[in-house]
Structure 1
Amino acid sequence: MSRPLRLAINGYGRIGRCVLRALYESPHNSGCQIVAINEPADLATMAYLSQFDSTHGVFPGTIEQAGDGLLVNGRLVQVSHEHEPDAVDWRTLDIDILLECSGRYGSREQLQPFLDAGCPRVLLSQPGNSAQDVDYTVVHGINQDGLTGHERLVSNASCTTNAIIPVLSELDAAFGVEHAFLTTLHSVMNDQPMIDGYHHADLRRTRSAMQSIIPVSTGLAQGVERLLPQLAGKVQAKAIRVPILNVSAIDLMLTLRRDVTEQQLNALMMEATTRYQGLLAYSNHPHASVDFNHNPHSAIIDGSQTRTNGDGFANLFVWFDNEWGFANRMLDVAQAWADRFREVEMPDQAASRAYS
C-alpha cells in the first residue's frame, strides 16, 4: 500500500479552510493528509476559524493548537507564517502537492518560486492568468484523464467554470450550442468591503458588499473556451455580486441548433447526473440559495426554472456552493493527479515511498 497523498496548503482563507474540512468530512478523501499550512495570520486565529465557521458550522472533530502547529483530529499539521513563496522550505516537508489557495499567484513567473523552494507540484485554486501559465487546467469530470503525471503547475479552474462546463458540454453534445450568455449571481467575496471604502481599483468594489447588488468583471467566458474550445467565439459572460455569504447561481441563456422543449432539457440534465455522479445534481423543488449551503456538487440544475421559447432559445438555472463544492473538487483533482504521477514514478522510487 502506498503512503497517503501528502498535501500542503498555502493561504488559509475561505477555500484553504474548506479544503481542510472537506478532507475530514468526505470519506472518499481518506487517502489524503494535510501535513502543512502556510498562512500569515496568527496560530490562535487560524485554530479558532478552523473550528468555528459562520457559513459551514462547527468543525465535526477537534482542532487545537499544539506548539507551533495545529492538531486536527489528533494529527499534527505544521504551520508557518511566511508572506513569500520561497520563504518556506517546502522540500523538507516531503509533500506531494501544494494547494495554492491564496489567490495571489496566477502567472508562471509568480509560481516558479514555489517550485524553486521545493514544491514538486502546485495545484492552483484559480485559473492561470493565461493557458500558458500552467501546464494543465482541470475541471473534474471533464478532462482529468488528460493529466499525464509530468505536470508541475495545474489549475483547478474557478468555481463558476466547474459549475457550468459539465452543463454546457452535455447541451452541446445533445443539441449543439450556437451561442451562450452566462450571468453569474455570486455571493460576496473578500475583495469587497463591508462598508464603502478604498478597497479596490474597480470602483464598484469600493461599495458596501452587503448593501448592494454589484456588477463585477469576470473571465468566465475565457475559462469556458479553454475547456470547451469548440465553443470559442460563442460564449459571453457577466457577473453580479449579491449580498449573501455563500452559494451562487448561473443564469444560462442559450441558442441551440434545434428547437427543444423544457421536458427534453430537464430529461437530459437528469440523465447527466448519472454520468457526473457526485458532481452534477438535479432538483425541481422550489429552492432558495440557502438550500445548497455545504453542498459538495459542482452544480445543481434547478429544473423548475428551465424555460424555452422556440427558435432554439433556452434558459437554465444552475446553483452551486462556490466554497464547498470547489474545495471538494480541489481534493478530487489532487487525487486524480496523484494517480497519474505515481504511475510515472520510477519503480525504485515508488518502492522507497511505500510503507506497510
Structure 2
Amino acid sequence: MVVKVGINGFGRIGRIVFRNAVEHPDIDVVACNDPFIEPHYAAYMLKYDSTHGVFKGTIEIDGQNLIVNGKKVRFHMEKDPAAIPWSETGAEYIVESTGVFTTTEKAQAHLKGGAKKVLQERHPVVSNASCTTNCLAPLAKVIHDKYNMIEGLMTTIHSYTATQKTVDGPSGKDWRGGRTAAANIIPSSTGAAKAVGKVIPSLNGKLTGMAMRVPTQNVSVVDLTCRIEKGILDYTEDDIVSTDMCGHPASSIVDAKAGISLNDNFVKLVSWYDNEWGYSRRVLDLLSYMAKVDGAH
C-alpha cells in the first residue's frame, strides 16, 4: 500500500525524510510546504547536502513544482498549516517537521487542509518522539526485558543542530545554548529518558538523562549507565567511530566494545545513531505502519 505524504518544513529533517522517502517503496511524497523557502532554493538544498552528499537522482523546477526523478511534487509557501491545500495533491499523512507546531492542537490545523493524519497521540496526530528517544528506547527495552533494569542514567553526546549558534549570541533562558556550537561542548537538557517511560511504563521514573552538544555535524551516541538485576554476557563488535555511522538506517547501533561494567549488575552501554538519517527512516516506517492499520479498519 503506497502512502501519499506531505512534508511541512523543509529544514534538515524535512529534506532528509524526503531523501529517504525516494528509496521507500511504500511512501510517495506528493507535496511540501515551507513559507521561508521558494522552490528553486528548495531544489538546491535537496540536491546538495554537506553531510549526506549530492542527491542520487534528478531534481528540476516547473513553476511551483519540484520534479524529482521525473515525478511532480507540489511546493507551497503557506505560514498557516490550515491554509495548505493538502487535499488538492492527495496528501493524507503529513510529516510536521517545522519544530513550531509541536502540540496536538497546533498540528491539527493540517487536518483543515485535507490531511488524514499528522505525524508529529489514537490519534489523528501522532508523535515520532526524538532521534535520541528512538535510540534509547530499543536499547532500554532489550536490557529491561532481559535483565530487569532497576535504574539508569543516560547521556547523549549529540552533534550540534540548526537551533544552535554559529557565533555567540542571545539565547533567552538557555544561556549556554547561545554559545558557539562549533567551538564548545555544551551541557543541555533532553526529554528522551522521560519519553521512554511514557511508552515503556515499567521504566517510568527509572530513567533520567542529559545531553552534551558537541562540535560534530552529524551522528550522535547514547551512553546508558544502569543498575540491573541480572548479569550480562560479554560479546564484541567492530571498532567504529562516529563518521562510520553516517547514513546508517538503524535508530540504535549498540557498540559492545565501547561498553564497560563495574560488576555483573552495574554496566555502561554505548549505542550510536545518525540523528538525521536513522530518525527519518523511523518517521517513514511509522507512516507506513499507520497506513496499514488504517487500511485494516
1:11 corresponds to which of 6, 9, 12: 9
Letter in 2 for 1:202: D
Cα distance change of structure 1 residues 220 and 311 upon mapping to structure 2, 3 Å threshold: same
Q: Secondary structure at the match of 1:53?
A: coil
1:108 and 2:104 matched: yes
Instruction: Report how far residue 117 of structure 1 moved.
Output: 2.6
Say whether the 8 Å CA contact 1:191–1:200 is kept in structure 2. no
Percent pairwise identity: 36
Look up the SS of the partner of 2:108 in the other structure: helix
Match of 1:90 in 2: 86
The Cα shift of 1:251 comes to: 0.6
1:241 and 2:195 matched = no
**Match among 273, 278, 289 for residue 325 of structure 1:** 278
1:31 deviates by 2.5
Q: Could you tell me which residue of structure 1 aligns to residue 62 of structure 2?
A: 66
Q: Tell me, yes or no, if the aligned pair for 1:255 and 1:314 is still in contact at 8 Å.
A: yes
Deviations 1:124-164 (A, max 9, x none): 1xxxxxxxxx23xxxxxxxxxxxxxxx31111111111111
Once structures 1 and 2 are overlaid, which stretch shifts more, 317-326 or 200-209? 200-209
Residue by residue, what CA displacement relative to the aligned partner does 1:175-210 show, whole Å, maximum 9, x if unpaired? 100011100011001111100112453111110000
Distance 2:118 2:220 in 1: 27
Q: Does 1:37 align with 2:29?
A: no
User: Quick one: distance in 2 between partners of 1:286 and 1:194?
Assistant: 32
Aligned residue for 1:23, secondary structure, equals helix
Distance in 2 (CA, whole Å) between partners of 1:91 and 1:44 is 24
Deviations 1:39-98 (A, max 9, x none): 121212110010010000000001111111100000000000111211212222222201
Determine the C-alpha separation between the residues in 1 that align with 2:108 and 2:140. 33
Shift of 1:19: 0.9
C-alpha distance in 2, partners of 1:108/1:224?
19
Q: Is the 8 A contact 1:178 1:254 kept in 2?
A: yes
What root-mean-square deviation, in Å, do the aligned CA atoms of Structure 1 and Structure 2 show?
1.4
Q: Deviations over 1:318-349 (max 9, x none)?
A: 000000001111111101111011111xxxxx
Paired with 2:173 and 2:79, the residues of 1 have a C-alpha distance of 22
> Does structure 1 conserve the Cα–Cα contact (< 8 Å) formed by 2:119 and 2:126?
yes
Opposite residue 86 of structure 1, the aligned amino acid is A
Taking structure 1 as the reference length, the TM-score comes to 0.80
What TM-score, normalized by structure 2, do the two folds share? 0.96
3-state secondary structure, aligned to 2:162: coil
Q: Any unmatched runs of 5+ in structure 2?
A: none
Aligned equivalent of 2:176: 204
Structure 1 117/96 Cα, relative in aligned 2: closer, same or farther at 3 Å?
A: closer
* Partner SS, residue 296 of structure 2: helix
Contact 2:96 2:107 in 1 (8 A): no
What is the distance in 1 between the residues matched to 2:229 and 2:287?
Answer: 37
Alignment correspondent of 1:140: none
CA distance in 2 between counterparts of 1:99 and 1:232 reads 28
- 1:221 is matched with which residue: 193, 205, 214? 193
Does structure 2 retain, via aligned residues, the 8 Å contact 1:184–1:239? yes
How far off is 1:173 after superposition? 1.1
Distance in 1 separating the partners of 2:291 and 2:58 = 28
Specify every segment of 5 or more residues in structure 1 that has no aligned partner in the other structure, as ranges. 125-133, 136-150, 267-282, 345-356
Q: What corresponds to 2:152 in structure 1? A: 180
Matches within 5 A, 1:281-320: 284-310=237-263, 312-320=265-273
CA contact (8 A) 1:260 1:310 kept: no
Rounded Cα–Cα distance in structure 2 between residues aligned with 1:182 and 1:84: 37
SS of aligned partner of 1:286? coil
> Which consecutive aligned stretches of 4+ in structure 1 deviate over 6 angstroms post-superposition?
none
Q: Given the alignment, which residue of 98, 120, 126 partners 1:154? A: 126
8 Å contact from structure 2 (residues 31, 86) kept in 1: no
Contact between 2:224 and 2:269, CA under 8 Å: does it hold in 1? Answer: yes
In structure 1, what residue type is equivalent to 2:219? Answer: V
Shift of 1:260: 3.2
